[in-house]
Homo-oligomer: A and B are copies of this chain.
């Protein structure tokens, strides 16, 4: 597949997280063809229940006026959960590019119902990262999506 430089940045974030002992999910925020924000899941690193990758990337932007968010595209290596989806809807981000949704199908239908453009790349690296992670550390993954480990 053709490399998408913004998804590659999100993947780089995911790998940074993995290297630090975290959950390998990354995100980037792009405005006018430039990466303006980025981040990765910080559950382990910050003992955080809210710093999913998308939230970290949004937080890296600091405070922005409403119009700012309406001009960005959010890249994330994994389909966004209901919390991250809610943040996307709050700030009316018009376009979300998703690495993969086979490991976890987030609230893509809710995004679309609100008029958000959703692009799923089905990127093999995104999928393989999560599969390898879940195989070795299933309890972390389940904690991250608020599910009791089966």
Q: How far does the alpha carbon of A86 sit from the alpha carbon of B82 in the complex, in Å?
A: 5
Also in contact, A143 and B86, with CB within 8 A (given A49-B58, A49-B91, A58-B49): no
Cβ-based interface call for A148 (8 A): yes
In the complex, chain B residues whose CB is within 8 Å of the CB of A35: none
Q: How far does the alpha carbon of A53 sit from the alpha carbon of B107 in the complex, in Å?
A: 23
Q: How far does the alpha carbon of A64 sit from the alpha carbon of B82 in the complex, in Å?
A: 18
B92→A143 contact, CB < 8 A: no
List A23-65 residues whose CB lies under 8 Å from chain B: 43, 47-50, 55, 58-59, 61-65
Cβ-based interface call for A85 (8 A): yes
B65→A143 contact, CB < 8 A: yes
A50→B50 contact, CB < 8 A: yes
Contact of A87 among B58, B69, B86, B91 (CB under 8 A): B86
In the complex, chain B residues whose CB is within 8 Å of the CB of A89: 82-83, 86
A138 → B minimal CB distance (Å): 13
In the complex, chain B residues whose CB is within 8 Å of the CB of A58: 49-50
Contact of A90 among B59, B62, B66, B146 (CB under 8 A): B146
